[in-house]
Amino acid sequence: MSDINLTAVRWMKSSFSQQGGNCVEVAVVPLDLAGAQWVKSRHSGNGGNCIEVAPDAPGVMPVRDSKDPEGAVLLFPIEAWRSFVAATAAGEFGDI
């Protein structure tokens, strides 16, 4: 994620977080994906349980739910995404 300016990140806590420091925060990253070309895997069926990725983003792999294209986008460092894809192809998560 070295191509993203992390000084402009806005951190948010879940509305379910309790007081006392046992919280998870998420970063809202300023990345313009308006012109992104979203694609689904060629293995995706028509059942609607698909994700889409935008492979041309700099240094990250944006992932979204194809049923909610205006919803949240998860950003994974590109090397982490490549490791995930390789592990999935090797069957490390079982028969998916």
Evaluate if residue 1 carries a pLDDT over 60: no
**Hey, what are 75's tokens?**
């950003």
Q: 17 or 69: which carries more pLDDT confidence?
A: 69
Mean residue pLDDT across the chain: 83
* 84 burial via Cβ count (<10 Å: 0-12, 13-18, 19+): middle
Q: Is the pLDDT of residue 33 over 80?
A: yes
Q: pTM of the predicted model, to two decimals?
A: 0.71
> How confident is the model over 4-23, as a mean pLDDT?
72
Q: In a 3-state reduction of DSSP, which class is residue 96? A: coil
Judging by DSSP bridges, how do beta strands 60-65 and 10-13 pair with one another? unpaired
Average pLDDT of the residues in 8-14 = 78
Above 90 in pLDDT, residue 29? no
Give the pair of three-digit tokens for residue 68: 């909610």
Segment 45-50 mean pLDDT: 73
Cβ proximity of 64 and 7 under 8 Å: no
Is 95's pLDDT higher than 80? no
Q: Mean pLDDT throughout 22-38?
A: 82
Amino acid identity, residue 4?
Answer: I
> Would you state the structure tokens that stand for residue 79, as one six-digit string?
């090397």
